[in-house]
Amino acid sequence: MPLTDMPDFAPAILAEFAARKTTRVDTPVIQPAAPFLDMAGEDLRRRIFLTENERGESLCLRPEFTIPVCLRHIETATGTPKRYAYLGEVFRQRREGANEFYQAGLEDLGDTDAAGADARVVADALACLQTVLPEKAFAVTIGDQAVFEAVVAALGLPAGWQRRLVRAFGQTDLLEAMIARLAKPQPVAGLSPHVEHLLEAGDEAAVVAHLTAEMERTGTLTNASRTPHEIVRRLTEKRLLAGASLDAAKLDALKEFLSINVSLRYAPGVLADFARSAGLPLDAAIAGFDARVAALAQAGASLADITWRAAFGRPLDYYTGLVFEVTVRGEHHVLAGGGRYDRMLTLLGARDHIPAVGFSLWLDRIEQAREASR
């Protein structure tokens, strides 16, 4: 679909957005690159088209709308709750399809009823797709980063390992490699026996003194990028992470959790059974999960058409809870995807915490699905 060709079903999508009391917004095509590089995730960072202005500041062609819409909300000091809708071009390198294409979507900001807002955006995404693809049946896959974070925390890993695992959520190969690493601790290579002995004894002051003397002797102290104190802090953290491992029972529990793949009809019971059998305190995470399932049922979603896959995530770093994708049943092209990103607006500069959830529609893929139906 050439970039200049607005899809003919776009007005129908905009009508769906308008019926949901959204405010339609547009954002500049040229965006500051830093928010995307900091928050969007490695997969999107590799696909961004970067440039610079005359002052040497990094800019990019708009690769998605969520971050720009949130920045606009902060800059205009609009109160919440607020629902925004958009439809416009985005630019990113893709393995298949054009690098310039249309996206539409909805961002739901400030609703403190997380379960209700989650259910609403899933229902809204399905309603939009059903309007433009009335002859198709859809399948929804959901994951929950908050539940995964709760499982990882309950296993008692160091905070550094918890952050690593959470960042890898949804990236199957990377997560499997980390789990394999957790089966066996590995020492930090390259440390002298003397430094290793001092670190083992917990004598960080002696390590700092030793490093200071060595750096003065070699002339590296005056122009070192990190101070001896910073180096020792980093060494201590690396040793803690390198020495961390999970016993067989906890490792099996993590693998068992990530293998869960069930209809949402049965998911609450499966999650509760897992927590009970693994002996993990997941009450708060389970309560949030169950509330969303109930809200989806109340919103009229068919739980039989929704699959909860515990290892499912989306390749954007800013998600914090629900993540979901919608495909035509039996096909693999994602037509809609989204999730919850409660920390983003604060990280972008909002003074107050603003819960947020939303979704995007891939209009070129929807067009292909429409053509296949003709």
Whether 29 maps to a domain, the answer reads yes
* pLDDT per position as a tens digit, 65-85: 999 999 999 999 778 899 999
Do 218 and 138 lie in a common domain?
no
What range does the domain containing 40 cover?
A: 10-142+316-373
* pLDDT per position as a tens digit, 161-213: 788 888 888 888 888 888 887 777 666 555 677 766 665 667 778 867 877 77
Whether this model's pTM surpasses 0.75: yes
Residue 102, C-beta contacts closer than 8 angstroms, at least 6 positions apart: 1, 6, 7, 10, 87, 88, 89, 90, 363, 364
Whether 5 maps to a domain, the answer reads no
* pLDDT per position as a tens digit, 345-357: 999 999 999 999 9
Do 136 and 204 lie in a common domain?
no
Do 25 and 124 lie in a common domain?
yes
**CATH number of the CATH domain containing 96:** 3.30.930.10
- Tell me, what's the pLDDT at 346? 94
The domain total for the chain is 2
Round to whole Å and give the CA distance between 305 and 6. Answer: 31
- The SS3 of residue 29 is coil
Round to whole Å and give the CA distance between 90 and 75. Answer: 21
Round to whole Å and give the CA distance between 254 and 197. Answer: 33
Whether 187 maps to a domain, the answer reads no
* 374 residues of the chain, pLDDT tens digit each: 344 578 999 999 999 999 999 999 999 999 999 999 888 777 778 889 999 888 888 999 999 999 999 999 999 977 889 999 999 999 998 877 788 999 999 999 999 999 999 999 999 999 999 999 999 999 999 999 999 999 999 988 777 778 888 888 888 888 888 888 777 766 655 567 776 666 566 777 886 787 777 777 776 665 555 677 777 676 655 555 555 567 888 889 999 999 999 999 999 999 999 999 999 999 999 999 999 999 999 999 999 999 999 999 987 788 999 999 999 999 999 999 999 999 999 999 999 999 999 999 999 999 999 998 77
Do 47 and 106 lie in a common domain?
yes
Whether 352 maps to a domain, the answer reads yes
